[in-house]
Amino acid sequence: MPIPRQRHTKGRRNRRRSHHALKKINLVVCAKCGQMSLPHQVCFNCGTYANREVIDVLAKLTKKERKQKEREMATAEATKKKEKPMSMEELSK
């Protein structure tokens, strides 16, 4: 087994390790459900990609989980529909 000729300096060691840092994961908000997901990936919460349903998420759940998920999705859609822009009078209050 070869033996190194000289010991590497701290600066050389640290320069080599400068590329070992962890990077922050870039997450985006799903347009349909509002969950955070990886960009260019199917949303695991609602199963959509590019505003169309790719995976039927409810088919993989049990009956109890499916009912709960349907209720959550219905309330999320209802709150989106209720959100309307405020008028100038409401903003002034």
pLDDT at 68 over 90: no
Report the half-sphere exposure of 8 (CA within 13 A, side-chain side). 10
What residue spans define the domains of the chain? 24-75
Query: What sign does the dihedral 53-57-63-65 (CA atoms) show?
Result: negative
**Any alpha helices (H) in the chain, and if so which ranges?**
10-17, 63-82, 88-92
Would you place residue 53 in the very low, low, confident or very high pLDDT band (cuts 50, 70, 90)? confident
pLDDT at 81: 67
pLDDT at 15: 96
Q: Give 78-90 pLDDT, tens digit per residue.
A: 776 666 677 777 7
Would you place residue 36 in the very low, low, confident or very high pLDDT band (cuts 50, 70, 90)? very high
User: Is 0.75 topped by the overall pTM?
Assistant: no
How large is the greatest C-alpha to C-alpha distance in the chain, in angstroms?
Answer: 82
Residues 6+ apart with CB under 8 A from 55: 42, 47
Please report, in angstroms and rounded to a whole number, the separation of the first and last CA atoms in the chain. Answer: 80
